[in-house]
Amino acid sequence: MALYSREDDVAIIAVNNPPMNALSHHVRKDLIKFLKVAEADENVTAIVLCGDGRTFPVGADIKEFHKSVSALGPTIIDIVHALEKSSKPTVAAIHGSALGGGLELALGCHYRIAMSTSKVGLPEVKLGILPGAGGTQRLPRVIGLDNAMKWIAYGHHHPAGVGASLGLIDRIVAKGGDIRRSAILFARSMVGKGLGQRRLSNVSVPDASKVEELMAKHLKEVGLRTRGALAPVVCLQVIKSSALLSYKDGLESERQGMMTLLASSESKAQIYSFFSERQVSKWNAPGIANHATAKPMQVRSIAVVGLGTMGRGIAISSLKAGKKTYVVELNSKALAAGVKYIRGYIETMKKRAQISEEQAAAMQSAIIPVSSYNGIANVDLVIEAVFENMKIKKEIFGKLDKVCKPSTILASNTSTLDIDEIASATKRPEKVAGMHFFAPAHIMLLLENIYGRKSSAETIATIMDIGKQMKKITVLVGNCVGFVGNRMYGYYTTESVFILEEAAYPEQVDKVLTDYGFAMGRFQVGDLSGNDIGYKIRTGLGITHKQQPAGTPERKRGVLRYCPLGDFLVEKGRLGLKVGKGWYKYEGSRTPIPDPEVRKIIDEYRTRHHIVPRDISSEEVLQRMLYPLINEGFKILEEGIAANPWDIDMIYQYGYAWPRHTGGPMYYAFTIGLPQVLKVIEEHWKAAGASEPHWQPSTMLTWLVENHGNPDISQWMPLMQKHKSKT
């Protein structure tokens, strides 16, 4: 709802729809009603629009999208026009955030004042739509086409101060000030001043003459940064009309653009992503605890054991979260190198104004270098990040168990190893869990937390809470080899080399993936992270080319199909970007260049095995890259390793840069249609048989298709649970 009050001659209309003052239908009805009241009351000389509680409205009610109520009048644009048309000065008083439809309301007002701490923006593009209440036509009239294109096509939130520098905000209220009082005084001071030029629909776009040049520039940038997404392009096309058409015709173009985008699978995927991102914090570890019942332990100090690639980033994340951070290496040289890196990184963040001087100083003084486990006896949480080796990890956990106080939680950053086995090295398995960070750990937003068979409710709640304090998208999963992300990714890489064998070169596979929306293809990613990582894992499994006794068929490991091309590369020193050559070559930059030498390795291999390369369609490449991964996702759901399909999708968006506009692997399967996905998987399974088990259709996928066709993704787990409870 909204509330109406009067402060002498000024009417105050306050949106009151917790938690974020979204502009739901009932709010819109109240706003129009109260604007009419204020307009009709001759004792009212000015009107202030504001939000109760945490914030100014942050936009339309996203829950209403794709439902008929979203179109029920009054619409947000009706309110924008009523605010603009008012004969009395209307002032938006912004605190918290004015986003989307909220900022569009503010653009309907004649004036906008904002707290210095507040944020403004039109983030609709991140929901796969565009600002549909006049924002595409009104924002360029205030801040110019160039800025409006940037703001709308990327959807970032901007500090109010930036808005003020561009003329969007008329006055800033300093931190601690009273925004509502300031707005009332400001509104009163505007009474009697002409409103003509304050009505944005009357104003022209300042840099309209540069429209073609700006359009070309932004289309190019958007194409590079938001590959494959439709909404940013439609946003630009619609903004363009603000420079070329009348306000009224521009609005019509906005309406049409909105209709196109609302009907797209992209907007549905983006809205799904918005809610999924928030849903993952509502974790559930069946039979142990859930987010609502379990209480976290208070963690004041964290020890990070091992300061290699991962440990350094984890330590920085811990420091950013304000924790006293013990950093541990047994070797003094390694300790010094790790500490130097961490301290240097903090200074760089300070130089780049990513953190304040005080924050940097606090982080520096919270680092405690330690070269023995005894030094971390009293910490609340240990995160181990040493080499990926079970024997070493068990040894360390055994020692930590002896040294650390009984309440200390012991977590491992292992990317693949069994958490229960690691826990078995301690006498406190209830206090052991996995905290799988992604490289670089201080930048990547994903944290995959793993509960073991014996992890306690408090341990799980604590690692989930720490993830939140580190501002990570923290997803809780069960324990299995590779957990969720890496277990699925394994089949993506397996299938990729089979495609090389049969039909394509690395750049052809990668192009299909970047056309789909990935920023990089699988082979470029391999080069970037280092092809030796996968090689080490395969060595651990005893399956690399070099480990086989003479006479072992090159393309088999037991009954399983194998392709040693990745092994050949590493054995020839082609470790990736770090050495200037891998699946591609690199000439002084990160740009991958297709390498004739790699083609030669592949060609010779094909000749040796009498493989005649065949034509392969992009569709087949995409299906073979994505469907095994999706199939494994269903197996993970079936086993209860992930609680929901959206948990998997968030792991993929935030850990593996899956293009958000397709929702994630599981949502993409739903978009394609489960029957179609299953059909393709079954065809491959029939052709490959037991030698390629990743094509064996998941029983959950098969059951869902046979019994429900393509049920809504929100129904997958309830349907399965109902089915299981009956059988």
Ligand X SMILES: NC(=O)c1ccc[n+]([C@@H]2O[C@H](COP(=O)([O-])OP(=O)(O)OC[C@H]3O[C@@H](n4cnc5c(N)ncnc54)[C@H](O)[C@@H]3O)[C@@H](O)[C@H]2O)c1
Q: Which residues bind ligand HSC (CB under 6 A)?
A: 19-20, 22, 58-63, 65, 70-71, 76, 97, 99-101, 104, 123-124, 127, 131-133, 135, 262, 278
Q: How far is the CB of 465 from ligand HSC (least distance, A)?
A: 15
Shorter beta-carbon distance to ligand X: residue 46 or 307: 307
Select the binding partner of residue 50 from ligand HSC, ligand X, none (C-beta < 5 to 8 A, by kind): none
Number of CB atoms found within 10 A of residue 589's CB? 8
Select the binding partner of residue 313 from ligand X, ligand HSC, none (C-beta < 5 to 8 A, by kind): none
**Beta strand segments in 291-332, E:** 301-305, 324-328
If residue 459 lies in a helix (H) or strand (E), which one and from where to where? helix 457-469
Shorter beta-carbon distance to ligand HSC: residue 127 or 289: 127
Region at 530 (left for phi over 0; alpha for psi -120 to 50; beta for the rest): left
Of 17, 27, 63, which Cα lies nearest the Cα of 274? 63
Contact 23, 15 (CB under 8 A): yes
CA distance 562 to 494: 8
If residue 289 lies in a helix (H) or strand (E), which one and from where to where? strand 289-290
Q: How far is the CB of 152 from ligand HSC (least distance, A)?
A: 10
Q: How far is the CB of 498 from ligand X (least distance, A)?
A: 24
Q: Is the peptide bond before 697 cis (omega within 30 degrees of 0)?
A: no
Shorter beta-carbon distance to ligand X: residue 30 or 384: 384
- Beta pairing, strands 111-115 & 97-99: unpaired
Shorter beta-carbon distance to ligand HSC: residue 134 or 582: 134
Give me the DSSP letters along 636-683.
HHHTTSSSSHHHHHHHHHHHS---GGG--HHHHHHHH-HHHHHHHHHH
Select the binding partner of residue 48 from ligand HSC, ligand X, none (C-beta < 5 to 8 A, by kind): none
Number of CB atoms found within 10 A of residue 501's CB? 18
Which residues are marked as active site?
104, 124
Select the binding partner of residue 386 from ligand X, ligand HSC, none (C-beta < 5 to 8 A, by kind): ligand X
Residues 154, 160, 166, 169, CA torsion sign: positive
Select the binding partner of residue 19 from ligand HSC, ligand X, none (C-beta < 5 to 8 A, by kind): ligand HSC
Shorter beta-carbon distance to ligand X: residue 263 or 392: 392
CA distance 106 to 89: 12
Residue with CB nearest ligand X? 308
CA dihedral defined by 305, 311, 314, 320, rounded to 10 degrees?
90
Q: Burial-class residue 510 by CB neighbours within 10 Å (0-12, 13-18, 19+).
A: buried
Q: How far is the CB of 90 from ligand X (least distance, A)?
A: 53
Q: How far is the CB of 294 from ligand HSC (least distance, A)?
A: 18
Select the binding partner of residue 123 from ligand X, ligand HSC, none (C-beta < 5 to 8 A, by kind): ligand HSC
CA distance 642 to 449: 11
Select the binding partner of residue 70 from ligand HSC, ligand X, none (C-beta < 5 to 8 A, by kind): ligand HSC
Shorter beta-carbon distance to ligand X: residue 243 or 310: 310
Residues that bind ligand X (CB under 6 A): 305-311, 328-331, 334, 385-388, 392, 396, 413-415, 437-439, 529
Q: How far is the CB of 60 from ligand HSC (least distance, A)?
A: 4
Q: How far is the CB of 71 from ligand HSC (least distance, A)?
A: 6
Q: Report the alpha-carbon angle 20-23-26, nearest 5.
A: 115
Select the binding partner of residue 334 from ligand X, ligand HSC, none (C-beta < 5 to 8 A, by kind): ligand X
Position 422: which residue type? I
Shorter beta-carbon distance to ligand X: residue 590 or 608: 590
Pull the structure tokens for residue 27: 């709010």
CA distance 692 to 153: 43
Shorter beta-carbon distance to ligand X: residue 91 or 417: 417
